[in-house]
């Protein structure tokens, strides 16, 4: 079993930033990632444009230069690949951590490819990999999708989108352009205030011109092979359907954290791992969190643009502890 000073689980921007900070301090580390680098960004829609500027998405003081103020998905993928090459980061991709335990003052990790021991553990796994459940019959059918990549495969298809925030609105616009028959259902009574103000008028125009069917105060009751059963204000009705996009959000996976004894702190948005905001260390000594996983169920408080600084705080704290020893 190989001993590594610090292991980082997750090769998203915040995990990569932590690796750079440790490497800059000549500290031993390994990043373990179940997919490839920045897997969550890869799963964004192919046409996705970031809310943030390229400068605020940059890590390791490695410049992210784009012609437009806000970069697109593919530009970000290129940038983070170049970051990994530039720093020659130590990353094991397509290796999934399956379990872990605390043994005295070290962590033991078992993965799909081996076993590791480390003194410090950083979990930077985000939340985009765990879609929220619909909790309705038929939600596990192959026709139900939780990620929207591009619209072409759904040309001339009856598509239902569940949700009323940015991801739903963006998907609806792209699908309508590609010739899908689009219906959107949202359990609230009006558009979400979080929808981008420069996008909402375009979507609302599609609704007003009967190019997209919009149903507020509506829930999905059942997903059948060729239709979907909906309930709106006490009335149940059924519409033809070929594909469903359940764009109802995602949630962090705390199972690995809690298996080490990390406490979850309840707040107004649900629960979040107990941690020191200055060092990002949890209540378990030597176990740190980086990125949006620190936000708990409220993913609107931590983004790449502020989560990228967690790595510096973590590396500094680890370094100080080593010096004190």
Out of 246, 263, 286, a domain closes at 246
Are 105 and 184 within one domain? no
Are 241 and 184 within one domain? yes
Report mean pLDDT in 10-residue bins for the chain, 325 residues.
94 96 97 96 90 91 91 96 98 96 94 96 88 94 96 98 94 97 96 88 96 97 98 96 94 89 80 92 96 74 80 96 83
Q: What is the pLDDT of residue 155?
A: 98
- Helix residue ranges per DSSP H, 240-309: 255-259, 304-307
Are 163 and 260 within one domain? no
Out of 220, 246, 272, a domain closes at 246
Q: What is the pLDDT of residue 292?
A: 87
Does any domain span residue 135? no
Are 121 and 157 within one domain? no
Does any domain span residue 52? yes
Are 314 and 212 within one domain? no
Are 218 and 269 within one domain? no
> Do the Cβ atoms of 273 and 254 come closer than 8 Å?
yes
What span, in angstroms and rounded, lies between the C-alpha atoms of 149 and 171? 9
Q: What is the pLDDT of residue 148?
A: 95
The domain of 158 spans 144-246
Q: What is the pLDDT of residue 130?
A: 84
The distance of Cα 256 from the centroid of its chain, to the nearest Å, equals 17
CATH number at 269 reads 3.50.50.60
Are 279 and 192 within one domain? no
**What global pTM score does this model have?**
0.89
Number of domains in the chain: 2
Does any domain span residue 100? yes
Beta bridge partners of residue 231, listed in sequence order: 219, 236
Are 96 and 235 within one domain? no
Are 42 and 24 within one domain? yes
Q: What is the pLDDT of residue 129?
A: 77
Does any domain span residue 148? yes
Does any domain span residue 138? no
Are 313 and 217 within one domain? no
Residue 88 region, left (φ>0) first, then alpha (ψ -120 to 50), else beta?
left
In the block, which residue shows the tokens 């060092």? 279
Q: What is the pLDDT of residue 231?
A: 97
Are 7 and 125 within one domain? yes
Does any domain span residue 137? no
Pairing of strands 91-92, 243-246: unpaired
Are 230 and 313 within one domain? no
- Helix residue ranges per DSSP H, the chain: 13-24, 39-42, 54-57, 73-87, 166-177, 200-208, 255-259, 304-307, 310-324
Out of 191, 220, 246, a domain closes at 246
């Amino acid at each position: 079993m190989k001993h590594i000073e610090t292991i980082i689980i997750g090769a998203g921007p915040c995990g990569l930033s932590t690796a750079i900070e440790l490497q800059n301090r000549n500290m031993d580390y390994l990043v373990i990632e179940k997919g490839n680098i920045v897997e969550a960004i890869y799963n964004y829609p192919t046409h996705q444009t970031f809310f943030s500027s390229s400068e605020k998405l940059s890590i390791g003081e490695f410049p992210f230069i784009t012609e437009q103020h806000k970069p697109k998905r593919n530009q970000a993928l290129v940038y983070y690949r170049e970051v990994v090459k530039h720093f020659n980061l130590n990353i094991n991709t397509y290796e999934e951590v399956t379990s872990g335990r605390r043994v005295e003052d070290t962590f033991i990790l078992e993965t799909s490819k081996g076993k590791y021991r480390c003194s410090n553990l950083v979990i930077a796994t985000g939340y985009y990999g765990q879609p929220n459940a619909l909790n309705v019959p038929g939600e596990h059918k192959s026709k139900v999708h939780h990620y929207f990549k591009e619209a072409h495969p759904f040309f001339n298809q009856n598509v239902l989108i569940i949700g009323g925030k940015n991801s739903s609105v963006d998907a609806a616009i792209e699908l309508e352009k590609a010739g899908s028959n689009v219906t959107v259902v949202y359990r609230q009574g009006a558009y979400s205030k979080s929808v981008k103000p420069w996008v909402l008028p375009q979507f609302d125009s599609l609704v007003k011109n009967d190019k997209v069917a919009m149903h507020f105060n509506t829930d999905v009751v059942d997903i059948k092979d060729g239709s979907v059963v909906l309930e709106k204000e006490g009335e149940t009705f059924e519409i033809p359907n070929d594909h469903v996009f359940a764009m109802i959000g995602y949630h962090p996976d705390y199972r690995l954290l809690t298996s080490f004894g990390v406490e979850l702190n309840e707040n107004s948005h649900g629960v979040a791992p107990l941690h020191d905001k200055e060092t990002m260390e949890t209540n378990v000594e030597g176990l740190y969190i980086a990125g949006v996983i620190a936000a708990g169920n409220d993913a609107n408080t931590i983004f790449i643009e502020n989560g990228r600084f967690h790595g510096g705080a973590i590396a500094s704290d680890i370094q100080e502890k080593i010096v004190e020893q």
